Amino acid sequence: MLQLNNFYIHALSFTSIRFSSHSTAKILLKNYKFPEILPKDCEEQYIRGWGPGGSCVNSSSNAVLLKHKPTGCFVKVHQSRILRENIKIAYERLKMEVDKHLNGESSYSVQFNRIISQLEEKTKKSSQRKRQAMAELKAEGEMIREINRERENNGEESVMTSNFTNFVFEDVLNPRDSAKFIVNNTETNLIKINNEAVVKVAEIICNSTLAEIGQLNFDECEFHPKSADKAAVDWIFFMDTINFSFWPDEEINYWEITHNGTTQSGYFGVCVAINRALENGIPLTSADYMANIDEEIVEEIFRGDRDIPIPLLNKRMEMIRENGKILVEKFGGSFYNCLLKCSNSALNLLQLIIENFPNFRDFAEYRGRKVSFLKRAQILVADVYSCLHGKDSNADFTDLNKLTMFADYRVPQALAYLNVLEYGNGLLENLKNNKLLKCGGEEEVQIRGFSIEACELILNEIKNICETRKNSINPETFKKLNNFTCVDVDVWLWLWRRANAQKIEESVPFHKCRSIFY
């Protein structure tokens, strides 16, 4: 532990000390109180220089000798050819010297150097753990490849290929089966699916322009990584670790963030915050950094405009740390290594996520059965696919169509506005009164389950429309629609809701449930 003034912080670890430690240390020490340096307590002398600029400059008296009379501390500065710039620099340096003179081991500079030393030590240890994990992963991968070669020679199915009937938690229904169970075991009139509206929404999607459908591509978003590499995968993993519950307790306290002239909220706001941290040299998406991230850093990175904090800040910090430690200890410090273990299967990767990362286990109990929705886990798989597909063969999943929609609070809102979901009067009244729904309660579980089933029905109708109109639909549009999955239906509805946010908010409120799962 390090003591900074009157509070304690955890020492951090980094993948790259050279590029990140100064930025992080400055954030950790941002509340440090320096002694006040008053001009009346200082003695200024202007002397001939000895610094950069050559003999012409050094022969003039534009260097500064600044002395602090109460302590006797002094500094010499000749960094610039301009006298006033040298005076400004001199006062900053004198502040550091006086601080060190008065506070000794508790001074800013000593603490700063102490942080750097501890970072270097922790990084060495972390690198050793990563090398060990990588060696184990390589050995395991070679073993699996050898087994698969033998099984293929014998005409058998490769290992690590999942059809999602063998769910990693045998007592939990997978999301698609969970939705069907929920819809088929509803004894109340909370929600109904309007089949006529299902057809209408499928028509709207099919009539979309090719440009609108193209928006579903991951790299079309200006805030997403443009590379298709390990760094992009780690960015996605970090994002989907904290991809939940962005709505405010009160509308006046809406979390949003402004950077580079753009103001964003919700998911895109978090994207902006992550990118800003990376631009400032903070390796936020590094597993080493995640595993030891400090509360002060999290607060600073996700500080919104008007100093409004992002909801569930402490939970996000806990989950970042937890997932970072798991990556370091099990997967060589990168989520990309999880991708290498999944044998081009989206479901294998999904299984790996929920088996190894507990905070992705989006489970509930309904009518005596354990059900699952796996919003964050499924969107993590889909994001990796969308980012790398066609660019990295490891992400060319052959079973993406086995994923369901991502049951959050925005897509159900869009489905309700489009009359695909019909809320009963009691439920609608609760939503309009901003009632906070219980996580895992009947209302919340039904909204999520019915939303998954509704998207399945919309997808089926899209396929029917494509089949009947294949000779009249634009060939390029037909190709995209014919390859549509529930993931695409979800993303289309999510983007459509965002584009029509105001009129939807005025008509149908989203369901409010404080959850780490969505």
- Look at 302-311, 369-378, 473-482, 485-494 and tell me which has the smallest mean pLDDT: 473-482
Same domain, 338 and 426: yes
The reply to whether 426 falls in a domain is yes
Q: Please give the residue that has the higher pLDDT: either 458 or 83.
A: 458
- Average the pLDDT over 87-99 and give the result: 93
> Is 408 an annotated catalytic residue?
yes
Whole-number Å distance between alpha carbons of 349 and 465: 32
Place of tokens 């396929």: 463
The total number of structural domains in the chain stands at: 2
Q: What are the backbone dihedrals phi and psi of residue 373, each rounded to the nearest 5 degrees, phi first?
A: -125, -40
The reported pLDDT for the residue numbered 412 is: 98
Residues 218 and 363 in one domain: yes
Same domain, 232 and 376: yes
DSSP string across 463-494: HHHHHHTTTTS-HHHHHHHHT--HHHHHHHHH
Please give the full DSSP string across 13-66, using - where no structure is assigned.
Answer: --S-HHHHHHHHHHHHTTT--PPP--GGGEEEEEE---SSSHHHHHTSS-EEEE
Whether the per-residue pLDDT at 117 is higher than 80: the answer is no
Total residues found in the chain within this entry: 518
Residue 513 counted as domain residue: no
Asked whether residue 95 falls in the same domain as residue 205, the answer is no
**Predicted confidence (pLDDT) per residue in 331-365, tens digit:** 999 999 999 999 999 999 999 999 999 999 999 99
Mean pLDDT of the chain: 86
74 lies in the same domain as 223: no
Q: Which of 97, 113, 129 is the last residue of a domain?
A: 113
Q: Which of 89, 113, 137 is the last residue of a domain?
A: 113
Look at residue 201 and tell me if it is in a domain.
yes
Q: Is residue 250 part of a domain?
A: no
Q: Are both 103 and 202 inside the same structural domain? A: no
pLDDT digit string (tens) for 205-235? Answer: 988 865 666 556 788 889 999 999 999 999 9
Q: Are residues 189 and 333 in the same domain?
A: yes
Residues 364 and 476 reside in one and the same domain: yes
pLDDT at 431 over 60: yes
Whether residues 333 and 457 share a domain: the answer is yes
> How do residues 67-80 score in pLDDT, each as one tens digit?
999 999 999 998 88
User: What pLDDT score does 391 carry?
Assistant: 94
> Coil, strand, or helix at residue 419?
coil
315-340: average pLDDT: 96
What is the per-residue pLDDT for 58?
47
Q: Which one of 288, 362, 408, 490 is the catalytic residue?
A: 408
Q: Kindly state whether residue 377 falls inside one of the protein's structural domains.
A: yes
Q: Compute the distance between CA of residue 295 and CA of residue 10 in angstroms, rounded to an integer.
A: 9
Same domain, residue pair 93 and 195: no
143 part of a folded domain = no
Among 68, 85, 113, the domain-final residue is 113
Pairwise CA distance, residues 34 & 431, whole Å: 51
Q: What is the DSSP string of 387-411?
A: HHTTT-GGG--S-GGG------SSH
- Whether residue 83 is contained in a domain is answered as yes
140 is a domain residue: no
Residues 492, 484: contact at Cβ < 8 Å? no
- 136: pLDDT strictly greater than 70: no
CATH number of the domain bearing residue 68? 3.30.160.20
How far separated are the first and last CA of the chain, in Å rounded? 34
For residues 97 and 208, membership in a common domain is answered with: no
Q: Which domain holds residue 211?
A: 175-245+312-507
Residue partners of 421: CB distance under 8 A and separation at least 6? 191, 192, 193, 194, 412, 415, 447, 450, 451, 454
Q: Residue 142 pLDDT more than 70? A: no
Whether 183 and 108 share a structural domain: no
Q: What is the mean pLDDT of residues 239-266?
A: 90
